Amino acid sequence: MRVCIVGAGSIGAVLGARLAAVGHDVCLIARGAHLDAIRAGGLKLVDHVDQRSGTFKLATSAEPADFGAQDLVIIALKAHSIATMLPRMRALIAGHTVVVPAINGLPWWYFHKEGGPHDGMRVRALDPDGTMFAALDCRHVVGCVVHMSAEVRAPGEAHHTGGRRLILGEPDNSRSARLDAVCSALNAAGFEAKASTSIRLDVWTKLLGNLSFNPVAALTGYLMNQICADDDVLNVIRAVMREGMAVSEHYGHRMPMTIDERIDIARQLGAARISMLQDLEQRRPLELAAVVGAVIELADLANIAVPATRIVHSLALARTRALGIA
């Protein structure tokens, strides 16, 4: 396949390198020193999970218009960077192109073909002016939930540090030929890609962890194992998760696990420096709108009280403002 990775940072770099390694025609959209390093010496993948390390010479640019129509476009940007990128991606999209947003948080396409009373609704925390829906026809979208971790530790050098599981699903929950084709390509590249017929439940299952652990990590500076070892902090995590579960269940997605079972999944990450802490330390904007603000918006729509989530959100926003990264 012709594959473009839009946002060849940590997760995007791992996806691109592995897909290229099994013969796909991969191009990358990157920027800054990372772009310069890949152009000069190739993309170096250091794989701590499957030892599939290597250096890959791949076509790389800051401009999607430098590449033609693709079979598969994987968006691996931070959520707050997607709105400005979507209009620039038009050169990559043909009638058959599949677009897979491999992103954190509630996705902007969440209510597209959802089938309930809010079908087609915009989440204003994510797409306040409707520009994202206007820039990309959602018929191209296949949803994705990423259960793996990676870091860019130097320009041009990505480290795959944990996990290989990817859950993909059609917005209308159907089992399509294109869904199976993308999963097959990812599995052949060494990932564990699963086709889901309930992708929004999968979104919520991961989001509960991001909603609670990520802003708390940014506020405390704790690694995942430190959060899980601090009973007082874990009580905050439990309160936020409880509220998130209530919102999720209201929209038809009851969690198939208890709060402590969800915390046990997080424990398996060990001494991980989770994404909002990484972003805070690098003075990059945090994905608060997609991970926390959107959940508060859906809670308000449903008249569900989420006081713990609001407190954590307010403190995390204040922390970013204090550091000048809001």
Both 108 and 168 in one domain: the answer is yes
Catalytic site residue 206? yes
At residue 271 the predicted structure's pLDDT band, cuts being 50, 70 and 90, is confident
Instruction: CATH number of the domain at 193, please.
Output: 3.40.50.720
- pLDDT more than 90, % of the chain: 92
Q: Is the pLDDT of residue 84 over 90?
A: yes
Q: Of 44, 113, 194, 206, which one is the catalytic site residue?
A: 206
pLDDT tens for residues 17-52? 999 999 999 999 999 999 999 999 999 999 999 989
Helices (H), the chain: 10-21, 32-41, 82-85, 131-135, 177-188, 199-220, 224-229, 231-250, 259-267, 275-281, 288, 294-301, 307-322
Band the pLDDT of 272: cuts 50, 70, 90. confident
Identify whether residues 235 and 111 lie together within a single domain: no
In the predicted structure, residue 101 carries a pLDDT above the cut 80: yes
Q: For the chain, what is the mean pLDDT? A: 96
Report whether pLDDT(79) > 80: yes
Give yes or no for residue 126 having a pLDDT over 90: yes
Among residues 197, 217, 242, which one ends one of the domains? 197
Q: What number is the average pLDDT over the span 127-138? A: 94
Question: For residue 187, what pLDDT is reported?
Answer: 98
Clarify whether residues 78 and 207 are in a common domain.
Answer: no
Structural domain total, the chain: 2
Nearest to 91 by CA among 4, 32, 30: 4
pLDDT at residue 61 is higher than 90: yes
For residue 318, the enclosing domain spans 201-322
* Full-model pTM: 0.94
Tell how strand 72-75 and strand 98-101 pair up: parallel
Pair (186, 282) in one structural domain: no
The pLDDT score that the predictor gives to residue 269 is 82
DSSP symbols for 34-70: HHHHHHHH-EEEEETTT---EEE--EEES-GGGS---
**Pairing verdict, β 43-47 and 54-56:** antiparallel
Structural tokens at position 106: 């509630």
216 and 158 in one domain?
A: no
- Distance separating alpha carbons of residues 175 and 196, to the nearest angstrom: 8
